[in-house]
Amino acid sequence: MSRRPEAAPGTKVFVGNLSWGTDNNSLADAFSQFGEVVDSIVLKDRETGRSRGFGFVTFSSPESASAAVDAMNGQDLNGRNIRVNLANERPAYGGGAQEGGFNGGY
Going from N- to C-terminal start, the domains of the chain cover 18-89
State in words which class domain 18-89 has: alpha beta
Contact 68, 57 (CB under 8 A): yes
Mean pLDDT, all residues of the chain? 86
Give the length of the chain.
Answer: 106
pLDDT at residue 30, rounded to an integer: 98
pTM for the complete prediction? 0.78
* Residue range 11-33: mean pLDDT, rounded: 97
